[in-house]
Amino acid sequence: MADFEDLRIVKTRQKLFAALAELLTEKRFDQISVSEIAQAAHISRATFYHHFPDTTALVAAYQQEVMMRIVQVVRHNDYNPANFLSQLMPFLDSEGALLGSLLSDNGTLAIQNQFKQGMRQIFRTKMLAHLNTTGIDMTNATVVNYLITFWTSAIFGVVQAWLTTGKRESPAELAAILKQIVPDNLTT
């Protein structure tokens, strides 16, 4: 019985995520109500509230799921930034609709900052050690924070531009472009 209930929860969450993605193509996140999401997902408002207290919590849950899945996708990666992006792009391509909508102009700065913060955590814990830091004072916390900010902002900006312009390049094409942009001498 528990597995059946878990499957229902998963399916309801997926419906809610898909409904939000659909609505974000039409209007800004801060203009979307719980009622609209519930109606688009073909569930009741009570069911929505059973899962989430508000729309922000829905997005936070989605963001947490995405960040956990990103870590799973790249966990066997050597965390070289160019290689990381090569593995990340196909995953982001499959996530597409809601992620692209949240990172578009219809999303909110708060949502985008949540995604950036998750990326900063991945970069700090997994990728920082793989950068060529010759000439960088890695004992200076301010310098390290700006280094992390630089890389995560660059990665986020590329991903955001790719998603919001309709993913004109395939994941493989974008990964190849990024390998050209990230010089080998910047990574170990």
Identify the band that residue 1 occupies on the pLDDT scale cut at 50, 70 and 90. very low
**Is 80 inside a domain boundary?**
yes
Average of per-residue pLDDT values in the chain: 82
Q: Tell me the average pLDDT across 154-181.
A: 83
**Is 101 inside a domain boundary?**
yes
Identify the band that residue 177 occupies on the pLDDT scale cut at 50, 70 and 90. confident
- pLDDT tens by residue, 102-136: 877 777 787 788 778 878 888 888 778 878 788 99
pLDDT > 80? residue 92: no
Identify the band that residue 80 occupies on the pLDDT scale cut at 50, 70 and 90. low
**Is 166 inside a domain boundary?**
yes
Instruction: Please state which of the ranges 44-48, 71-75, 123-127, 153-157 shows the lowest mean pLDDT.
Output: 71-75
**Is 19 inside a domain boundary?**
no
Q: Tell me the average pLDDT across 50-63.
A: 90
Q: How many domains would you assign to the chain?
A: 1
**Is 49 inside a domain boundary?**
no
In angstroms, the first-to-last Cα distance of the chain is 50
Sign of CA dihedral 43, 44, 48, 50: negative
pLDDT > 90? residue 139: yes
Residue 129 or 168, more confident: 168
| Boundaries of domain holding 138 | 56-186
**Is 138 inside a domain boundary?**
yes
CA 63 to chain centroid: 6
How far is the C-alpha of 167 from the C-alpha of 159, rounded, in Å? 9
**Is 107 inside a domain boundary?**
yes
How far is the C-alpha of 162 from the C-alpha of 173, rounded, in Å? 11
**Is 153 inside a domain boundary?**
yes
Sign of CA dihedral 32, 35, 40, 46: positive
Residues counted in the chain? 188
How far is the C-alpha of 121 from the C-alpha of 71, rounded, in Å? 10
